[in-house]
Amino acid sequence: MTDIAAPRTAFINLPVKDLARSVEFFTALGFTFDPQATGDDTAYMVVGDGASVLLHVERFFREFTGSEIADTSTTREVAVGLSAVNREEVDELTDRAVAAGGQAVGVQDQGFMYMRAFRDLDGHQWSFIHLDMSAMGQQ
Protein backbone atom coordinates (compact mmCIF):
# COMPACT_ATOMS: atom_id res chain seq x y z
CA MET A 1 0.00 0.00 0.00
CA THR A 2 1.28 3.47 -0.90
CA ASP A 3 1.82 5.94 1.93
CA ILE A 4 -0.34 8.97 1.08
CA ALA A 5 1.84 11.13 3.33
CA ALA A 6 4.90 10.46 1.18
CA PRO A 7 6.51 13.58 -0.31
CA ARG A 8 4.95 14.43 -3.64
CA THR A 9 5.45 16.95 -6.37
CA ALA A 10 2.41 18.79 -7.72
CA PHE A 11 2.09 19.69 -11.41
CA ILE A 12 -0.83 22.04 -12.00
CA ASN A 13 -1.80 22.48 -15.65
CA LEU A 14 -3.72 25.57 -16.76
CA PRO A 15 -4.86 26.87 -20.14
CA VAL A 16 -3.95 30.43 -21.14
CA LYS A 17 -4.97 32.61 -24.05
CA ASP A 18 -1.65 34.42 -24.47
CA LEU A 19 1.39 32.53 -23.17
CA ALA A 20 3.78 35.49 -23.34
CA ARG A 21 1.40 37.76 -21.39
CA SER A 22 0.84 35.05 -18.78
CA VAL A 23 4.58 34.56 -18.34
CA GLU A 24 4.97 38.33 -17.95
CA PHE A 25 2.12 38.41 -15.39
CA PHE A 26 3.54 35.66 -13.19
CA THR A 27 7.09 36.98 -13.54
CA ALA A 28 5.79 40.27 -12.08
CA LEU A 29 4.72 38.24 -9.03
CA GLY A 30 8.26 36.91 -8.64
CA PHE A 31 7.83 33.42 -10.12
CA THR A 32 10.52 31.97 -12.36
CA PHE A 33 10.24 29.77 -15.44
CA ASP A 34 12.38 26.81 -16.38
CA PRO A 35 13.67 27.61 -19.89
CA GLN A 36 14.45 23.93 -20.59
CA ALA A 37 10.77 23.01 -20.11
CA THR A 38 9.31 26.09 -21.78
CA GLY A 39 8.47 26.36 -25.46
CA ASP A 40 5.91 27.73 -27.89
CA ASP A 41 2.97 25.86 -26.33
CA THR A 42 3.91 25.53 -22.65
CA ALA A 43 5.71 27.52 -19.97
CA TYR A 44 6.94 25.68 -16.87
CA MET A 45 6.53 27.94 -13.82
CA VAL A 46 8.40 27.03 -10.65
CA VAL A 47 6.22 27.63 -7.57
CA GLY A 48 8.41 25.95 -4.97
CA ASP A 49 10.36 22.78 -4.22
CA GLY A 50 7.31 20.57 -4.54
CA ALA A 51 5.03 22.41 -6.92
CA SER A 52 5.00 23.79 -10.42
CA VAL A 53 2.44 25.17 -12.84
CA LEU A 54 2.44 24.40 -16.52
CA LEU A 55 0.78 27.14 -18.53
CA HIS A 56 -0.43 25.79 -21.86
CA VAL A 57 -1.83 27.69 -24.83
CA GLU A 58 -5.52 26.78 -25.10
CA ARG A 59 -5.15 24.68 -28.26
CA PHE A 60 -2.44 22.56 -26.67
CA PHE A 61 -4.38 22.27 -23.38
CA ARG A 62 -7.41 20.92 -25.27
CA GLU A 63 -5.22 18.33 -27.00
CA PHE A 64 -3.44 17.46 -23.75
CA THR A 65 -6.62 16.98 -21.70
CA GLY A 66 -8.95 15.82 -24.45
CA SER A 67 -11.63 18.18 -23.21
CA GLU A 68 -13.00 21.68 -23.56
CA ILE A 69 -11.80 24.54 -21.41
CA ALA A 70 -14.00 25.89 -18.62
CA ASP A 71 -15.43 29.37 -19.13
CA THR A 72 -13.76 31.18 -16.23
CA SER A 73 -16.16 34.11 -16.55
CA THR A 74 -18.96 31.88 -15.21
CA THR A 75 -17.29 28.88 -13.52
CA ARG A 76 -14.24 27.97 -11.43
CA GLU A 77 -12.37 24.94 -12.66
CA VAL A 78 -9.72 25.32 -9.96
CA ALA A 79 -8.75 27.57 -7.07
CA VAL A 80 -5.01 27.52 -6.40
CA GLY A 81 -3.84 28.55 -2.94
CA LEU A 82 -0.20 29.36 -2.26
CA SER A 83 1.38 29.90 1.13
CA ALA A 84 2.91 33.17 2.20
CA VAL A 85 5.39 33.73 5.04
CA ASN A 86 3.30 36.45 6.69
CA ARG A 87 0.28 38.72 6.23
CA GLU A 88 2.43 41.43 4.67
CA GLU A 89 3.60 39.06 1.96
CA VAL A 90 -0.03 38.09 1.26
CA ASP A 91 -0.84 41.78 0.70
CA GLU A 92 2.32 42.49 -1.31
CA LEU A 93 1.88 39.56 -3.69
CA THR A 94 -1.83 40.11 -4.20
CA ASP A 95 -1.27 43.83 -4.82
CA ARG A 96 1.40 42.91 -7.40
CA ALA A 97 -1.05 40.54 -9.10
CA VAL A 98 -3.67 43.29 -9.37
CA ALA A 99 -1.08 45.83 -10.59
CA ALA A 100 -0.01 43.33 -13.29
CA GLY A 101 -3.58 43.06 -14.61
CA GLY A 102 -5.22 40.54 -12.29
CA GLN A 103 -8.60 41.07 -10.63
CA ALA A 104 -8.93 41.26 -6.84
CA VAL A 105 -11.56 38.82 -5.57
CA GLY A 106 -11.71 39.10 -1.80
CA VAL A 107 -10.14 38.91 1.62
CA GLN A 108 -10.68 36.40 4.40
CA ASP A 109 -9.30 37.13 7.84
CA GLN A 110 -10.03 34.51 10.45
CA GLY A 111 -7.24 35.55 12.78
CA PHE A 112 -5.15 32.41 12.38
CA MET A 113 -5.71 32.44 8.59
CA TYR A 114 -5.33 35.47 6.36
CA MET A 115 -6.05 35.05 2.65
CA ARG A 116 -6.49 37.32 -0.35
CA ALA A 117 -7.73 35.99 -3.65
CA PHE A 118 -7.33 37.22 -7.22
CA ARG A 119 -7.99 36.06 -10.75
CA ASP A 120 -5.16 35.96 -13.27
CA LEU A 121 -5.38 37.21 -16.87
CA ASP A 122 -7.35 34.10 -17.88
CA GLY A 123 -9.75 34.16 -14.93
CA HIS A 124 -8.10 31.34 -12.95
CA GLN A 125 -8.57 31.94 -9.25
CA TRP A 126 -5.49 32.11 -7.03
CA SER A 127 -4.95 33.11 -3.42
CA PHE A 128 -2.04 33.80 -1.15
CA ILE A 129 -2.57 32.45 2.35
CA HIS A 130 -0.77 32.94 5.64
CA LEU A 131 -1.56 30.48 8.45
CA ASP A 132 -0.52 31.46 11.97
CA MET A 133 -0.56 28.08 13.69
CA SER A 134 0.16 29.65 17.10
CA ALA A 135 -3.16 31.54 16.91
CA MET A 136 -5.17 28.59 15.60
CA GLY A 137 -6.74 27.47 18.89
CA GLN A 138 -7.36 31.00 20.15
CA GLN A 139 -10.49 31.70 18.11
Number of domains the chain is built from = 1
Chain segment 102-115, per-residue pLDDT in tens: 999 999 999 999 99
The whole-model pTM stands at: 0.87
Residue 98 maps to a domain: yes
Q: List, edge to edge, every strand of the sheet that includes 32-33.
A: 10-16, 51-57, 42-48, 32-33
Residue 3 maps to a domain: no
Q: Tell me 137's DSSP state.
A: G
Chain segment 70-116, per-residue pLDDT in tens: 999 999 888 999 999 999 999 999 999 999 999 999 999 999 999 99
d(CA 56, CA 116): 25
Half-sphere exposure of 60 (CA within 13 A, CB side): 16
Domain that holds residue 82: 10-138
d(CA 71, CA 73): 5
